[in-house]
Amino acid sequence: MLTKLKNKVQKWVFIEAKLMHKAGFKPNTMSALGAILGVLSGILYWAVGVSPAQMHKILLLLALITLLSSGLCDALDGALARLYGQTAVLGGFLDSMLDRYVDAAVICGLILGGLCDQSWGLLALVGSLLTSYARARSEAADIPMETVGIIERVERILIMAIASIINIIRGDLPALRISVIILAIASNFTVAQRVLYFYRRVSKKT
């Protein structure tokens, strides 16, 4: 079921990527646009926490839209690069760096806006960054690590999106707080999984 869903999403992304290519968009352009939208999402989450109550739903909806749009741009830049042979070491490096800024901006927005507990927010931030760092270091050592671990960037975005939708519908529920706790636990557990996986692979080589 999940495999079929993933294949359908990938087909849709490739269709969208072809439309973006016809419109003149390049992978680096999509990466930059995704980063801008992601940082804007973080600012909007912060604004939710410091604005009057009557503005919360509107700002939260805008934060959700920009977060999902950022994630879509991140998917499209990779699809564009693969479809039209525009993959480059520099482009991949910049895309990875910009993704980390977006991850940090969103979680920092939640922390600064008081939408989650600071301690859990910091743990989620550390786990999010180390999840990506562990993969980068592993693949630099020629040990692929894609799909290793219970949560990756797509899952993190989906968890935040679902929590945001719940809070738009029911502002009295602590959905965002709970989602950050889930992210903190799951992302750090993923880091542990990747460390163990790397250790086992290296041990087999020696």
Catalytic center residues: 99
DSSP state of 54: G
Say which residue the tokens 């480059």 belong to: 88
Read out DSSP for 132-197? HHHHHHHHHTT---TT-SS--HHHHHHHHHHHHHHHHH-TTS-HHHHHHHHHHHHHHHHHHHHHHH
Residues in the chain: 206
Q: How many CB atoms lie within 10 A of CB 203?
A: 8
79 and 101 in contact (C-beta within 8 Å)?
no
Say which residue the tokens 């930059």 belong to: 32
3-state secondary structure 8-50: HHHHHHHHHHHHHHHCCCCHHHHHHHHHHHHHHHHHHHHHHHH
Tokens found for residue 115 = 């939408």
Nearest CA among 75, 91, 78 for reference residue 157: 75
